[in-house]
Each structure stands twice: as C-alpha cells, then as structure tokens.
Structure 1
Amino acid sequence: MTDAPSLRFVVPAGIDDPRRVSGGNVYDRHIRDGLRRRGWDVDVCEAADAEGAASVLGDAADGSRVLVDGLVAGWAPAAVEEAARRLRLTVLAHMVAAAFPDATDAAIDAERRALASAHGVIVTSAWTAAELARRELADPDRMVVAVPGTLPAEPGPPPPRDGELLCIGVIAPHKGQDTLLSALGRLRSEDWRCTIVGSTDAFPEFAAGIARQATALHGKVRLTGVLEDRALDDAYRRCALLIAPSRVESSGMAIADARARGIPVLGAETGGIPDALAGGGGMLVRPGDPAALAAALDAWLADPALRARLRREAHAARATLPAWQDTVTRVADVLEAA
C-alpha cells in the first residue's frame, strides 16, 4: 500500500468566503476538492500578505510538494525563491499581472521572480501561457495549461425577455463595467434590463462611479453585489445574454458557467475570451469601446435570426466544454511530475 500523495496548497486568505468571490478562488477550491476526492492529502494554507506567505512556505518540510497561487507568489517573490531551493514548488498563475494597465514595475518584477524560480507553472488559458512567454516572464517549457472546468448544468427554457442582460465579476477597472454602462446608454432600444453582479470592495472608488453611471440609466441597471449559489443560479436562468466587457481577462469563470448553461456571450476580444468562445455561441467586440459594444447589443436586440443562431451554437458548444475532473487531472499530473 502506497502513501497518499501530499500537497501544501498556499492560497489567498478567504478562499471560502462568499463575500470574496473570484474566478481564482473558485478554481482553487475545485483543485483542492478534486485532489482530495482522488485521495490526496491537501493541506490548504491561507496567506493574507507577504509575511503570511513567507511563514507557510518557510515551515514546509524539505522536499515536500507545494502549489502556490500566483497572487500569493507575487506578494512574496523572495520567499518563493528561497522555498524553491528546497521544495518541489509549482506556481498556479491565474492571470498575467504585467498585462494590467496599472501594473507597477515592482509588481512585474515580483511576478517574473516568482515564476522564474518555480519548478513548474500551471496557467489557466493558452493566452496566459503565450502572454507570459511573450513578456519573457516564464519559460514556455515549464508551463502547462489547465483550463477551468465546468459543472454540469441543464439549459433552461428561453428567457421571456431577449433584453435580459447579465454581467458577472468583481467591480473593477479591468472588468470593464464602465464600458458596458456607457454602451447601454447608447442603445436604440429601450427593451432591455441589465443585472451587474460582483463585489464592490476591491476598488471602492471605481465601484462608486459605476453606481453613479447605473443610476443615470433610470432604473434599468441593477447592481446586486455578490450573489451566493441559489441567487446566482436564478440570475443565470433569467439571463438571455451574458456580457464580458473586460479590458484584461485570462479566461473568465462566468463565461464558462454561461457556456455550461447554453447562454450566448458577448465578450471583449481580449486575453483568453476569444479562446473561451471558440466553439460558437458568442460575439466579440473591441475592448474598452462603448460604441462597438452598443452596436453588438443593438444587433442582438433587433435581430431574431442572430439570437436564434447564437443560442443554437451555445447549446451545441456545451458538449465541447471541459469538466472540472479534466482540470484536476491536468493539475495532478503536473504536481506528480514536480
């Protein structure tokens, strides 16, 4: 009888906090739970800052297997460099910090140092791998792509309103909710409503601006904050079209969830979004361009044939989506080889 594989998984604090919903946290939870179901002994260690990251890395036993969320690795590159000398250390990179418009030289250098020292790097999209390589932030030979999986979901009946729009993601500049609201103000039709779901805590000044923009649209936009499972399922059931107006996006967990339900997606042509929509059932527009987004929304609202085609494609694409067990298998293979 062999011992169960063991792993120390270093993640941001609050991974299970419903008020801190993020694609990275959802992904990390699926990896944690999936490995445990396979018999792995997974020790999850939460870190809130660089000091916490250094502490949980520092007391890991020599030669042990460690997976570090890329957000945490970026907080403590020196601790990652030191730990990699004595641990089998892999970094899980959900994003490319250097791709954000407000990325500082210090943040980019921290990302480079952490990724360079890791024995392996797991990324969540082909775009992330290509972008890290293009920016010379990680060695292509040490990167493995493990795209987010999807949970089985039955598509519901067509929503009663074709203008029921949904946008999900933390309220933040890189998610582009300001672009969406500017586009909504340009629409020719009045037959629409938009629900925007996401935490306002990360960027409160930006979120306050989004609230002002929404108010100016005379009650047609609803800001819900974070929604937990049942309420989020209800939002998807009412949704006719998911909108992903991001300026920067590695893959997009909300896109995967919409795809699993056969919901068409209107996304910005940036990052990993085009790859996520490659199976059909989506439209792409230039990121940060309210006029282009408004034109696509006008087309959706005005053209029944377009809506029917996108719905058919979205339903057909469900059969091509990866399951979370596929993602876990990919991650497990990388960790076993570390």
Structure 2
Amino acid sequence: MTGTTTGRTPAAARGPARRTAPRRTGIVPMSLRTVHFVLPGGVDDPAAPSGGNAYDRRLCRDLPGFGRQVVRHAVAGRWPRPGPAARAELTRRLGELPDGSVVLLDGLVACGVPETVVPEATRLRLAVLVHLPLGDETGLAPSVAAGLDAGERAVLRAVPAVIATSEWAVRRLVAHHGLAPERVHVAVPGADLAPLATGTDGVSHLLCVAAVTPRKGQHRLVEALAAARDLPWTCVCVGGLGQDPAYVARLRTLIERYGLADRLRLAGPRTGAGLDARYAAADLLVLTSYAETYGMAVTEALARGVPVLATDVGGLPEAVGRAPDGEVPGILVPSADPAAFAAALRHWFGEPAVRRRLKAAARGRRAALDGWATTAHRVAGVLQRLSDEPRRTA
C-alpha cells in the first residue's frame, strides 16, 4: 500500500455527499470492547510514511466511534525480520494480555514470527491485518522470501480472522495460503475528500507518491521519462528515502545518467500540509509499482480529482475503480512491458480529449469514494464477530 492521508476537510470543500457507514448502536460488554492493536514501532515516524502506517493510525482514531477502545502496542524492530530483542518484546507483550483478549496485529509484525504468534492463537482472539503479503516484496533473496511466505502461511492459518485491504488481496491470500474464505475479510482503505487540485497547465506536472524502494519501481519511471524527454514534463517523487539506501543511490545515478536532474526530483517524505501541497500542484499521479495490495496514493489523488497512470498490478485497478458513469479515471499499463509507460505518457500529452475524459472520470470517482468511517465499521464488525465466537481450544 502507498501514500499517507491528512486531516478532515471542511464540509464546504468536500463536494457531493458520499456513502457513509452507519454508527454501531447497542451496548457491547466492556470486557469485549477493548482491542489490543499490535503495531510496528515506526508507525508514527514522519520520515517513513506509508499507506500501512496511515491505515493503522486511522483505525486507532476511528474504531472508538464503533464501540472499540483501542490499546496500542507499538513494538520496535526491523519487521518482518526482527532481532532477538524485538521478538522477546513481542512475546512479552502478548503474554501479558489476559486470556480471551481481542488482539489485532499488523501483518508486518505478526507474519514473520510464527513461533511467537501461533502459540497464542488458542489463548487470545487474534486477527491479522495484512497490508502486503510478505512474499510479494521485491528484491528479497529467494530463501528469505520463501521463509517469510511460509511464516505468513503458518500465522494466517492459525488465527481465526484475517483482514485484507482489497478484494484482490482476499483472493490472493485465500488461494496462495489455502485459507478458508469465510475467515478472510476485506476492509478497503478510506479516503478523505480534499479540495480539487489546481494543478499547473493541466498536463505537465507529474507526481509519484511512494517510498523509494525496488517494489515501487521508480527506476522504471525514470526510464519511461527518459524515453519521453522530448515532452514538457516535470516530476516530483515524494516518499521515504531510508528503507533501501542502495536503491536510492542507484536511482540518483540513473537520473544523472539520463540528464534529468533538473526535471525529476526525489523530494523525500511529505505528510500533512506538505503532502497536500504536492497533490494540489499535480496534473497526473504516476506509479510504476511491481506489486500493490491496494494503492492509497491512488485514492488520495482521486480524492482531489487527479487522474492516474499506473501499472496494472495487484489491487491498483481496484483503487483506480470507475466513476459512476463507468469511465475509468486513469490509464493502467502492463507491468511487464517496459515501453508501455512511456507510450501512455505520450498518449496523455498528445490527446486533449483523453485528458478531458480522464479528469471528468476522476471527479466522478472522487464523489463516490468511501471514507474512513466505512473502513473502521468493517474492521469493527470483524472484531465483534471475533468477540462473539467461542474461543479456540486447539
């Protein structure tokens, strides 16, 4: 998942009304209302924003409105492959929880340590929130990827509930790990409507919002832009630079090699007003990811009426979606075709009618986006069912 979200927008700026989730009514016993939410230690780190972190923070904020008191347990460590101290800390935190406690675990923390999580699955009421299947990460050694994949399978088969952030991810987890479909639930990220982006000239300013890592594939964006250097584009890449310094260095070298340093900039992470300003100046969001469970940057752009050009992978088509009239508010290109992205850029620049259609579709999609209340409502429903079910004994 990509992107970060910002605060609420005044009602006058929100545009057409959207579907909203009903508030939960009725009394839930206090012993079952608390949910212990186990999070990665960097969930609040402004230097490393991510869609997963933003999603977790919004659940912490919004679940109380649906009958859940959230107790946060942020555990520091290099998840999903932590050191001994982080493993011991997670073991201690889970071990101190009373029997039958409802626990929601971020999959980044839970799925890499089955030896810690699986033994607790009969004592606690566990749900795992999967932002990205661990085996889908790019750039891992085959043995590491296989180990993470096996650990994830063991954890997800042991817990009574799994929450995924797209319908695509539900299908992927069920098929890949052999999970019972009724135990895997979807809670798509919400989007806060924001004022319509003013953009620049309506065509030339491109924005990429994603951590700079191999999975996000910014090197493919550089190569596509180099192939279209005759077009009058400028591009800003917003995203954390600390996850893979070697990849960042490779990217900077590539930008210099193609002579694009004056037109393509790695701006580093932005949140809040700084990120809002980047979206406001954008004419087109561009993403060249190899894998995405959903793609929150897509809906954040659409919430401002900004069309999307992205690779056709994972849950990205689901995030792009369709306007109420059936039009697609973006261009999706085959991930395996290196020339497709540059060709799509030429299509965007060269066809005013295409741009008008995509912008109209983006505004239509904007009006139909669900908010974060819908997300919290769905997660709260899963947690309530988990509370109501008899606790496993084996």
**Structure 1: stretches of 5+ with no match in the other structure:** none
The answer (yes or no) to whether the contact 1:180–1:290 under 8 Å persists in 2 is no
| C-alpha separation in 2, matches of 1:223 and 1:136 | 37
- Amino acid of the residue matched to residue 319 of structure 2? A
Using the TM superposition, give the Cα deviation of residue 55 of structure 1 relative to its aligned residue in structure 2, in angstroms: 2.0
Identify unmatched segments of 5+ residues in structure 2. 1-26, 78-85, 323-327, 387-394
Change (3 A) 1:124 1:36: same
Q: Does 1:245 align with 2:288?
A: yes
1:32–1:163 distance in 2 versus 1, CA, 3 Å: same
Which residue of structure 2 lines up, in the alignment, with residue 138 of structure 1?
Answer: 179
Q: Is the 8 A contact 1:111 1:137 kept in 2?
A: no
Per the normalisation by structure 2, the TM-score is 0.83
Closer/same/farther in 2, CA of residues 55 and 277 from structure 1, 3 Å limit: same
Give the letter for the 2:338 counterpart: P
2:106 & 2:150 partners in 1: Cα distance?
17
1:163 aligns with 2:204: yes
Displacement of 1:211 in angstroms is 1.3
Answer yes or no: is 1:85 the counterpart of 2:113.
no
Render the CA deviation track for 1:217-254: whole Å, top value 9, x for unaligned. Answer: 14110111101211111110110000111000000111
Task: Work out whether 1:53 is the aligned partner of 2:80.
Answer: no
Residue 193 (structure 2) pairs with residue 152 (structure 1): yes
Q: CA deviation at 1:38?
A: 3.9
The C-alpha deviation readout for 1:21-69, integer Å capped at 9, x for no partner, is 0110000001111013445321100112333322221211100100000
Match of 1:287 in 2: 335
Among 318, 332, 345, the alignment partner of 1:297 is 345
Query: Whole-Å Cα distance in 1 between the matches of residues 202 and 364 of structure 2?
Result: 22
Between the aligned partners of 2:216 and 2:226, the Cα distance in structure 1 is: 18
Alpha-carbon distance in 2 for matches of 1:244, 1:77: 33
- Residue 166 of structure 1: SS of its match in structure 2? strand
Per the alignment, residue 224 of structure 2 pairs with: 183
Task: Give the Cα separation in 1 of the matches to 2:190 and 2:331.
Answer: 21
- In 2, the alpha carbon distance for the partners of 1:161 and 1:264 equals 11
Q: Which residue matches 1:94?
A: 131
In the alignment, which residue of structure 1 is the partner of 2:272? 229
**In the alignment, what sits opposite 1:322?**
370
State the match for 2:30 in structure 1.
3
> Does the 8 Å contact 1:176/1:288 carry over to 2?
no
Match of 2:102 among 65, 85, 91: 65
Q: 1:259 aligns with which of 296, 302, 310?
A: 302
Q: Report if the CA contact (8 A) 1:245-1:288 is conserved.
A: no
Deviations 1:165-206 (A, max 9, x none): 000111111101011100000015330000001111111111
* Aligned residue in 2 for 1:200: 241
Q: SS in structure 2 opposite 1:189?
A: coil
Q: Number of residues paired by the alignment?
A: 338
Deviations 1:262-308 (A, max 9, x none): 11001111000111112121100011533100000011111111111
1:15 has 2:43 as partner: yes
Larger mean CA deviation between 11-20 and 23-32 belongs to 11-20
The answer on whether the counterparts of 1:179 and 1:289 sit within 8 Å (CA) in structure 2 is: no
**Greater CA drift, 79-88 or 37-46:** 37-46
Displacement after TM superposition at 1:310 (Å) = 0.2
Correspondence for 2:72 among 35, 41, 44:
44
- How far off its partner does 1:105 sit? 1.4
C-alpha spacing 1:145/1:277, structure 2 compared with 1 (3 Å)? same
| More moved, 3-12 vs 115-124 | 3-12
C-alpha separation in 2, matches of 1:96 and 1:67: 17
Matched-pair identity in % = 37
| TM-score w.r.t. length of structure 1 | 0.96
**1:326 Cα deviation from its structure 2 partner:** 0.2
